[in-house]
Structure 1
Amino acid sequence: MALNASNLAAQPERFFHHGADLEALNARFQGAKPSEIMQFALEQADNPVVFTNFRPLAVAFLHLVTRIRPDIPVIWVDHGYNTPETYRHIERLIKDFSLNLQVYSPKMSAAHYNAVYGGIPPLDTPEHDFFSRTVKLEPFNRAMEELQPDIWLNGIRHDQNAHRKGLDVFTKGSHGTIRVAPMFHLNELDVEEYVYENELPDNDVYFDPTKGEEHRECGLLLQK
């Protein structure tokens, strides 16, 4: 059916967009439980997705969101440099949580990159910036362009590094999205207790070649 002026006017406005009052939302959910934030976000979103890298304790966030929306698309960028333990952990969670995993990989494999460019370059160099764009940012941007979400849920927390401390539960993301971090106000011990109480399998042997160091950002949260 062709769209005309009347049925265009009848279409509801998206709740989550870059003009939304995020300051009011963050104030409203300042003391809320992660499950309450997650429930609200999923009820209001038109096309939500999850982003995860399956790092240590990420299982808590995945458990929380899939209990509410089991079929939500879960974006994972497989840069090709993950540990064997990480790959086995992912296969277990696909089975345990019935994850609707959407895998996006770089256009150049890790073996190809290593052969041409000599492996992972040193941090804080133009070569490392190119490496990060190639193995993580490009696949992530491709996922966002293909899936067209209005929100992307993630498991970041305020205590992880200085940049994230300055963020909040609801923030503007790239591609016109709103980032939603239901566990933002928790600390590491809170999440560890959640994993323990729910008897969740964790991934203790993890490596992100685009970060190198735990306190660094890989670039996804820095995109506009």
Structure 2
Amino acid sequence: MGLNASSSAALAQPGPTFHHGADLDALNRRFHDARPSEIMQFTVEHAENPVVFTNFRPLAVAFLHLVTRAKPDIPVIWVDHGYNTPETYRHIERVVKDLGLNLFPYSPKMSAAHYNAVYGGIPALDTPEHDFFSRTVKLEPFNRAMEELKPDVWLNGIRHDQNAHRKNLDVFTTGSHGTIRVAPMFHLKELDVEEYVYENDLPDNDVYFDPTKGEEHRECGLLLEK
């Protein structure tokens, strides 16, 4: 669906395209039926300092492949919370090499071994202790990355079919740290992404664990940051 005249004029005005005052409704209407590659190309052409966030979860390689085809040197933020599986760490090494990722790894100020020794390991979900754990191992490193890199656009691989919270989002949404979040694959389904991985002969990560989520349908917390 195209933009109306007033929205087109607004986008044509000088100044950055991506900011918290931008007409994101117009952008979402414009790109509702667009291919992920078209959304990606528009974003890298108009963003001033875009970054990618990834956790290298299953099928995340499809999003990384899509992004780096449009902008090979884009900074890729990865928070290494220290609880990844050995398979995930080996997968990361391969994907970084195969795609030539410009990886920016960030770690918590307290290592997993240190946290386990002091606090007794990963706490139960939906407790104050787990909230503290999530802030320590994921949110603090992520916020530090955003403050240091100062992006205007945060590209991510979320889709509408992943959980109830994400179903109510869109391709272009406001994110934390003054960013606009862009999800080029938002309207795809899991099968679409699986086919992308197969067609492009990409390595996938089948043995993955996120200690801040526990269950696949839960939101990890980064999208809830203000």
Q: Which bin holds the TM-score, normalised by the shorter protein?
A: over 0.9
The separation in 1 between residues aligned to 2:119 and 2:218, in whole angstroms, is 23
Of 153, 156, 159, 1:154 maps to: 156
The one-letter code of the counterpart of 1:24 is A
Q: Which residue is equivalent to 1:112? A: 114
* 1:76 and 2:69 matched: no
Question: Could you report, residue by residue, the CA deviation over 1:195-222 in whole angstroms, capped at 9, with x for unpaired residues?
Answer: 0011100000000000000000110000
In the alignment, structure 1 segments of 5+ residues that lack a partner are: 1-11
The one of 23, 26, 29 equivalent to 2:25 is 23
- State TM-score, norm by structure 2: 0.94
Tell me how far apart the structure 2 counterparts of residues 167 and 33 of structure 1 sit (CA, whole Å): 18
Q: Which amino acid aligns with 2:63?
A: F
Deviations 1:98-150 (A, max 9, x none): 11000000000000000000000000000000000000000000000000000
Match of 1:134 in 2: 136
Distance 1:15 1:189 in 2: 32
What TM-score, normalized to structure 1?
A: 0.94
Structure-2 separation of matches of 1:124 and 1:219: 12
Amino acid in structure 1 at the alignment position of 2:80: D
Match of 1:199 in 2: 201
* Runs of at least 5 residues in structure 2 that lack an aligned partner in the other structure: 1-13
What letter corresponds to residue 159 of structure 2 in structure 1? R
Q: 2:88 is matched with which residue: 81, 86, 90?
A: 86
Q: Does 1:223 align with 2:225?
A: yes
- Whole-angstrom CA distance in 1 between matches of 2:62 and 2:144: 26
Match of 2:7 in 1: none
Q: What is the number of residues matched between the two proteins? A: 213
Partner Cα separation in structure 1 for residue 22 and residue 84 of structure 2: 37
> Aligned runs of 1:33-72 on 2, under 5 Å?
33-72=35-74
- Aligned-partner Cα distance in 2 for 1:208–1:113: 16
**Whole-Å Cα distance in 1 between the matches of residues 179 and 120 of structure 2?**
36
**CA distance in structure 1 between the aligned counterparts of 2:142 and 2:108, rounded to whole angstroms:** 9
Report the identity percentage.
Answer: 87
2:108 counterpart of 1:122: no
Per the TM alignment, residue 13 of structure 1 is displaced from its structure 2 partner at its CA by 2.2
Identify which of 209, 212, 216 aligns with 1:210. 212
The alpha-carbon deviation at position 166 of structure 1 amounts to 0.2
User: Which letter does structure 2 place at the counterpart of 1:137?
Assistant: L
